[in-house]
């Protein structure tokens, strides 16, 4: 290939490759390994082009590469439609762009694409750690933009980084004003991402294996801040959904239970106010205590007295709720459809459990007495709470109740509901979380995935839906102290997550660091990610005293001007625009000599200025000579960026010496005497 093709300088290519790396890093954990191999191949090919050893790919090769990455995206994502596939395709095209860069304009396109790639990372994660890393990514991309403008002879990576840092710092005030005052719209990551798994981990159906998987995860599910002191842990039953359908293996939610339209309920007990912050689950359910209500327009109370979102949660959400824990739910009676649904059992499953239910019914005609007898059965029989239960066969309830008797909350809740239904008592499984960990730094409750729990609600005449937890009869420490306490003897707590810091919360300094970092993330969620339109309106009312958008617009414009004017003055001030230390020294001396009317003239060089100053200031000739010798040496005799630190400091020291020697006023020009030599004239 001809040398004329290599129009992008080598230093600019280094910047571009570095910028691509930092822009791609946040995406790589979600992508297959071959994507990283594609980038390495493109980077190697580009370097070989720069070394004039390989050619640019022809149109046929470009078509083959395009088809290959498209096919790879389809195989990896299962589709070319959707957010995951679109972002992956964009990343691959971003890599291939390296191979067709011929001019600096093409390099600019790569940098602009890199800025867009940085933004797409927030579609999948909005953590504070990612935000800090993306600030570094922006610094590298802007530095690459600056480095692209540098010539080969004036290549200075450190200066490019400094310039990029100054530019980003200058943008911070404007960014803060826009963040606080610009109308809040749905964020970019509000787009539904079908490829993402639900962050809560809960699904519309429940099997023991599903709950066991959650119990082995130390990830955070949600946080709760109470208006007062948090209630005792045994009262913290976080309801998410009711499971009413049973097919012999799993419990699932019915359409009727998720429908809107609240049944009859009677408020009892003291109100308990709290705020919940949960992440994107791509599901409509949210978490609340019994007897919950909320004025949040994004939430609705469904048929089973559960708060749920009107739309699937595609971003973090903070909402307030009020619960009355002693409320009566449908105490007046069940509708026929509700009763049939909550008595439904599949035919041909678990005959021994059905016979056991018939025995209990004959012995205890009253529903309340039968319930207490069943709870005593779980308490007195040799049941064991474990995350390592044996595999169950077709008649899973029979095998659990009468053979293995080893399991966890999903086994106990499912078996109790089955027996109650077989005995003619309407019952359902409630899925959610139980308990939580108090963070003393912010006095809020952390609920993790391993706090996932299932319990039973049975309908009793005059009392409505009443909660019962058979797990408490077998392992009360699970309800009172948490999962880690219940599994202490077994050693299975987070055994599949050896790097989870929650597993080591019994170590003081690790636990303190974990709680501190969680509090930082919680404030990030509340103050930054949770700054939506309602929070913005509260901010306007509190600090601006108005919600009128016309007045807010005028205030925003004024705030922008107040930010931009100081920046403009800073940038445009000539004395501070000097790009090198010797230029700043020159300007400083020029301002000082302007008081003596001896400033440098337009187009006057340093030696000519030195000679004129020597004639006007004969007593300072030695200081002038020392200063100008150092200035000429640093400016004209030293290669740019090579060993200039010591010389620049010497020049500044010579300037200080010269400034101390200068007179306060310009001395009068002496009268020359005829016949005397210059030395005598000066004397």
Query: Which is more confident, 535 or 97?
Result: 97
Query: Which is more confident, 135 or 492?
Result: 135
Task: Provide the pLDDT for residue 330.
Answer: 87
Band the pLDDT of 669: cuts 50, 70, 90: low
Residues 289 and 390 in one domain: yes
Task: Provide the pLDDT for residue 198.
Answer: 39
Q: How many CA atoms lie within 13 A of 186 on its CB side?
A: 8
Determine the Cα angle at 173 with ends 581 and 120, to 5°.
105
Residues 129 and 242 in one domain: no
| DSSP letters for 547-594 | --HHHHHHHHHHHHHHHHHHHHHHHH-GGG---SHHHHHHHHHHHHHH
Query: Which is more confident, 311 or 238?
Result: 238
Distance of CA 201 to the CA centre of its chain: 18
Rounded to whole angstroms, the Cα distance separating 246 from 500 reads: 35
What is the β-pairing status of strands 245-246 and 292-293?
A: unpaired
Residue 365 lies in a domain: yes
The residue-averaged pLDDT of 452-473 equals: 94
Residues 213 and 335 in one domain: yes
Residues 393 and 480 in one domain: yes
What is the β-pairing status of strands 317-323 and 406-407?
A: unpaired
**CA torsion through residues 99, 102, 103, 105, sign:** negative
Residues 270 and 132 in one domain: no
Q: Which of 149, 171, 187 is a domain's end point?
A: 149
Residue 231 lies in a domain: yes
The residue-averaged pLDDT of 597-616 equals: 87
Residue 622 lies in a domain: yes
Confidence check: pLDDT of 3 > 50 = no
Residue 167 lies in a domain: no
The residue-averaged pLDDT of 280-303 equals: 89
Q: How many CA atoms lie within 13 A of 178 on its CB side?
A: 7
User: Which residues have C-beta within 8 Å of that of residue 150, sequence separation ≥ 6?
Assistant: 11, 12, 156, 160
Q: 51-63, pLDDT tens digit by residue?
A: 888 888 888 988 9
Task: Provide the pLDDT for residue 382.
Answer: 92
| Percent of the residues in the chain that have a pLDDT greater than 90, as a whole number | 29
Give helix 581-594 / helix 644-661 axis angle, nearest 10°.
10
Residue 648 lies in a domain: yes
Task: Provide the pLDDT for residue 191.
Answer: 47
User: Which residues have C-beta within 8 Å of that of residue 146, sequence separation ≥ 6?
Assistant: 160, 163, 164
Positions marked active-site: 409, 453, 469
The residue-averaged pLDDT of 258-284 equals: 83
Judging by beta carbons within 10 Å of its beta carbon (0-12, 13-18, 19+), is residue 74 exposed, middle or buried?
Answer: middle
Q: Which domain holds residue 425?
A: 205-508
Q: How many CA atoms lie within 13 A of 187 on its CB side?
A: 23
317 closest CA partner among 126, 494, 73:
126
Rounded to whole angstroms, the Cα distance separating 149 from 166 reads: 16
Helix (H, G, I), strand (E, B) or coil at 168: helix
Residue 554 lies in a domain: no
Q: 535-553, pLDDT tens digit by residue?
A: 777 777 777 777 677 777 7
The residue-averaged pLDDT of 379-392 equals: 89
Query: Which is more confident, 100 or 188?
Result: 100
Task: Provide the pLDDT for residue 264.
Answer: 80
Q: Which of 508, 538, 555 is a domain's end point?
A: 508
Q: 635-645, pLDDT tens digit by residue?
A: 876 555 444 56
Task: Provide the pLDDT for residue 123.
Answer: 83
Rounded to whole angstroms, the Cα distance separating 456 from 409 reads: 10
205 closest CA partner among 308, 304, 259, 283:
283
Residues 317 and 450 in one domain: yes
Q: Please give the tally of structural domains in the chain.
A: 3
Residues 434 and 287 in one domain: yes
Confidence check: pLDDT of 200 > 70 = no
Confidence check: pLDDT of 518 > 80 = yes
Confidence check: pLDDT of 187 > 60 = no
Confidence check: pLDDT of 616 > 80 = yes
Residue 317 in contact with residue 195, Cβ under 8 Å?
Answer: no
Mean of the per-residue pLDDT values for the chain? Answer: 83
**Can you say whether residue 52 is alpha, beta or left, with left for phi > 0 and alpha for psi between -120 and 50 degrees?**
left
Token duo for residue 360: 């209990």
Residue 231 in contact with residue 295, Cβ under 8 Å?
Answer: no
Residue 323 in contact with residue 238, Cβ under 8 Å?
Answer: no
Band the pLDDT of 210: cuts 50, 70, 90: low
Residue 171 in contact with residue 192, Cβ under 8 Å?
Answer: no
Task: Provide the pLDDT for residue 344.
Answer: 92
343 closest CA partner among 398, 431, 417:
417
Residue 531 lies in a domain: no
The residue-averaged pLDDT of 356-376 equals: 95
23, 144, 162, 194 from 141: Cα distances, Å: 8, 5, 13, 30
312 closest CA partner among 377, 258, 266, 353:
258
Residues 221 and 80 in one domain: no
Task: Provide the pLDDT for residue 376.
Answer: 95
Confidence check: pLDDT of 486 > 60 = yes
Residues 387 and 298 in one domain: yes
The residue-averaged pLDDT of 212-222 equals: 79
* 179-188, 471-480, 518-527: range with lowest mean pLDDT: 179-188
Rounded to whole angstroms, the Cα distance separating 382 from 378 reads: 8
Confidence check: pLDDT of 605 > 60 = yes
Confidence check: pLDDT of 209 > 90 = no
Confidence check: pLDDT of 433 > 90 = yes
Query: Which is more confident, 672 or 50?
Result: 50
Task: Provide the pLDDT for residue 5.
Answer: 44
Band the pLDDT of 313: cuts 50, 70, 90: confident
Give helix 104-120 / helix 10-24 axis angle, nearest 10°.
10
Residues 451 and 584 in one domain: no
Q: Which of 508, 534, 568 is a domain's end point?
A: 508
Q: 443-459, pLDDT tens digit by residue?
A: 899 999 889 999 999 99
Residues 363 and 220 in one domain: yes
- Rg of the chain (C-alpha set): 37
Q: 549-581, pLDDT tens digit by residue?
A: 777 778 778 877 877 777 777 666 654 444 567
Residue 545 lies in a domain: no
Residues 362 and 480 in one domain: yes
Band the pLDDT of 651: cuts 50, 70, 90: confident
Band the pLDDT of 217: cuts 50, 70, 90: confident
Confidence check: pLDDT of 197 > 50 = no
| Percent of the residues in the chain that have a pLDDT greater than 70, as a whole number | 88
């Amino acid at each position: 290939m001809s040398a004329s093709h290599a129009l992008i300088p080598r230093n600019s290519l280094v910047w571009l490759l570095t910028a691509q790396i930092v822009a791609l890093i946040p995406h790589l954990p979600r992508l297959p390994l071959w994507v990283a191999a594609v980038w390495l191949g493109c980077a190697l090919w580009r370097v070989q082009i720069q070394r004039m050893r390989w050619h640019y790919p022809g149109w046929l090769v470009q078509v083959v590469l395009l088809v290959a990455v498209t096919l790879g995206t389809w195989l990896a994502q299962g589709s070319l439609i959707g957010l995951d596939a679109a972002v992956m395709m964009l990343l691959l095209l971003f890599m291939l762009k390296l191979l067709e860069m011929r001019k600096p304009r093409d390099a600019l396109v790569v940098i602009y694409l890199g800025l867009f790639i940085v933004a797409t990372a927030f579609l999948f994660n909005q953590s504070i750690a990612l935000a800090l890393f993306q600030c570094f990514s922006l610094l590298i991309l802007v530095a690459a933009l600056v480095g692209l403008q540098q010539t080969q002879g004036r290549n200075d990576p450190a200066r490019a980084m400094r310039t990029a840092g100054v530019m980003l710092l200058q943008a911070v005030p404007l960014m803060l004003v826009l963040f606080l005052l610009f109308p809040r719209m749905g964020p970019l990551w509000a787009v539904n991402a079908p490829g993402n798994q639900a962050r809560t981990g809960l699904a519309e159906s429940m099997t023991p294996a599903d709950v066991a998987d959650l119990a082995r995860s130390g990830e955070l599910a949600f946080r709760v801040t109470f208006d007062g002191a948090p209630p005792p842990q045994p009262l913290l039953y976080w309801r998410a959904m009711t499971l009413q359908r049973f097919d012999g293996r799993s419990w699932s939610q019915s359409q009727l239970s998720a429908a809107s339209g609240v049944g009859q309920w009677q408020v009892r007990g003291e109100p308990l106010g709290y705020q919940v912050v949960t992440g994107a689950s791509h599901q409509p359910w949210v978490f609340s205590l019994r007897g919950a209500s909320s004025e949040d327009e994004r939430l609705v109370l469904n048929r089973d007295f559960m708060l749920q979102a009107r739309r699937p949660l595609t971003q973090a959400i903070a909402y307030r709720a009020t619960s009355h824990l002693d409320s009566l739910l449908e105490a007046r009676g069940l509708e026929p459809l509700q009763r049939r649904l909550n008595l439904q059992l599949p035919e041909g499953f678990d005959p021994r459990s059905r016979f056991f239910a018939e025995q209990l019914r004959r012995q205890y005609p009253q529903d309340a007495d039968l319930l207490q007898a069943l709870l005593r059965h779980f308490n007195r029989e040799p049941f064991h709470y474990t995350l390592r239960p044996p595999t169950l066969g077709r008649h899973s309830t029979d095998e659990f109740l009468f053979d293995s008797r080893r399991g966890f909350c999903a086994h106990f809740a499912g078996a109790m509901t089955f027996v109650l239904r077989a005995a003619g008592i309407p019952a359902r499984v409630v899925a959610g979380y139980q308990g939580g960990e108090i963070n003393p730094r912010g006095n809020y409750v952390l609920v993790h995935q391993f706090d996932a729990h299932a319990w039973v609600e049975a309908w009793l005449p005059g009392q409505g839906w009443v909660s019962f937890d058979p797990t408490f009869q077998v392992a009360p420490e699970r309800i009172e102290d948490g999962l880690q306490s219940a599994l202490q003897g077994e050693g299975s707590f987070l055994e599949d997550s050896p790097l989870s810091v929650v597993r080591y919360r019994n170590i003081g300094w690790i636990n303190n660091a974990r709680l501190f970092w969680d509090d930082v993330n919680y404030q990030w969620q509340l103050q930054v990610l949770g700054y939506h339109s309602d929070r913005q309106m509260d901010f306007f009312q509190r600090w601006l005293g108005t919600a009128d958008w016309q007045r807010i617009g005028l205030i925003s414009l004024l705030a922008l001007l107040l930010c931009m004017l100081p920046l403009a003055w800073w940038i445009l001030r000539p004395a501070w625009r000097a790009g090198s230390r010797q230029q700043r020294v020159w300007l400083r001396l020029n301002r000082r000599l302007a008081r003596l009317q001896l400033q440098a003239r337009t187009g006057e060089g340093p030696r000519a200025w030195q000679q004129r100053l020597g004639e006007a200031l004969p007593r300072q000739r030695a200081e002038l000579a020392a200063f100008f010798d150092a200035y000429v040496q640093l400016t004209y005799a030293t290669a740019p960026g090579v060993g200039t630190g010591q010389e620049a400091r010497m020049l500044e020291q010579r300037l200080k010496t010269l400034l101390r020697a200068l007179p306060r006023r310009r001395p009068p020009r002496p009268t020359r005497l005829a016949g005397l030599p210059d030395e005598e004239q000066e004397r």
